[in-house]
Chains A and B, each alone.
Chain A
Amino acid sequence: MSPISRGFRGRRRAPAGQEGRLPPGQYLTEDFPVLSAGPTPHTPLADWTFSITQGGATEQSWSWQEFRAVPSEDVTADIHCVTRWSKFDTRWRGVSVDTLLDQAGQDAPYVLAFCDGGYTTNLPIEDVTGGKAWVAFDYDGQPLEPEHGGPARLLVPHLYFWKSAKWVRGLALRDHDAPGFWETYGYHMYGDPWKEQRYAGD
């Protein structure tokens, strides 16, 4: 049982009627804060590819032009950052990871998303298939800004937003789960905001 913080009342409670949309420990923001561990990469679109790899071999790779020719869809989702901000009804356009995996014709129990700048994050395959994850390239009707992960980022809105890897360049299919970047530094392997899985052991 937490001790009461004398005199604390709280000023950022969820809007009336929307309490159920805000996971525990989160507050609602209208902004779109930026968090990343290093400089923002700027890969020219001419050099950009998205790859599905398995066992070190590239099974399928798309150039930017090829990737943008893959059918895409609009997605509206609430997003939740482990640093405690949540943002409702964010609007994206992206390619479903189902579509990309179907085209690659591969399967495995886990994926490791890999990115420009060396960032990685790990996810179970069930969390990036079944209409739950996208490789997003538009935000709010505009090309995704580099500081928010452009030209393309993973979008996995049902998990804490560090799983929605910025500057994503591919998915490595894996037989075993292994920690990515933040997971190595003590963040949770799965990251369910509704269970408040912020750090290892939560």
Chain B
Amino acid sequence: MERTAVRGRLTWQAATVTGLTPETAAVVTITLDPPDWPGHQAGQHLDVRLTAEDGYVAERSYSIASAPGEPLAITVERLEDGEVSPYLTEELRAGDQLELRGPIGGYFVWKPADASPLTLLAGGSGIVPLRAILRDRLRTGSDVPARLLYSARTLPDVIYRDELGQHHDGVAVSYTLTRAQPPGWAGHTGRIDASLLADAAWPATAKPLAYVCGPTSFVETAAAGLVGLGYPPDRVKTERFGATGGH
């Protein structure tokens, strides 16, 4: 087990919101300028804190969407029954202050020096930390081959679609649309299963490293499927978010 602990106290700081970019109808990327960001690794997350006028506080964690060295960004999906995500996606404006602290988490991270082929499996907004990994791979000139399988409800729900289409050398991106497909859709359909994983993921013989992020049902199926394909469990890193009761 690697010993890359985050040491020392993680203090709250007020970052300036420098931009908000809609990604889909329900998803916004927020770029942030914190006064003192110590740097991060692709795959880590940060905590956001909102304070109401009467002192009520709400905190949530969000995956970092940007690669190390890029302007800090998070990508937030608005959850209808959420408390923090509707504020971040609808109320927040450029120039506002947003309290945050981080980076947090040292296990679900990718290191550019790692030479293992990458199997990346994303469900919904679980694409966010995997996008940071792909951007880090590109920025650092890593030549590890990567296969991304991204499960979304419909094509308009796909986050970063244009950007993901621009990865070429060594990156294969495939989609499965679970709820509806546009006319002439040539990609996969339906929820991920063993045969789709066998098709889209590196075979275990390639000694790949897998990152799986999405809602629990997706992660359970995807992680179990990779183990079924012969991936050692310690080569399958997972990150989950509750589809309900979450952000």
Contact = CB atoms under 8 A, between A and B. Distances in A.
Interface string A148-191: 00000000000000000000000000000001011011100000
Interface in A104-136: 117-118
B198 interface: no
A118 B246 contact: no
Given A31-B245, A38-B223, A201-B10, A8 B238 contact: no
A37 B99 CA distance: 27
B233 A35 contact: no
A33 B10 contact: no
22 contacts: A2-B12, A2-B51, A8-B50, A8-B87, A11-B83, A12-B58, A12-B83, A27-B58, A29-B245, A31-B244, A31-B245, A38-B234, A38-B237, A40-B223, A84-B59, A85-B242, A147-B216, A181-B1, A185-B5, A185-B106, A186-B10, A199-B9
A184 B91 contact: no
B4 to A, nearest CB: 7
B52 to A, nearest CB: 5
Given A3-B14, A9-B56, A40-B223, 5 more contacts: A5-B51, A5-B87, A10-B50, A10-B83, A185-B4
Interface of B: 1, 3-10, 12, 14, 49-53, 56-61, 83, 87, 91, 96-99, 104-108, 216, 220, 223-224, 226-227, 233-234, 236-238, 240-242, 244-246
Interface of B: prevailing SS: mixed
Contacts, number: 135
Contacts of B106: 184-186
A13 interface: yes
Given A83-B61, A200-B8, A33 B245 contact: yes
A44 interface: no
A117 B98 CA distance: 37
A199 B6 contact: yes
Nearest to B49: A2
Nearest to A3: B97
A202 B227 CA distance: 36
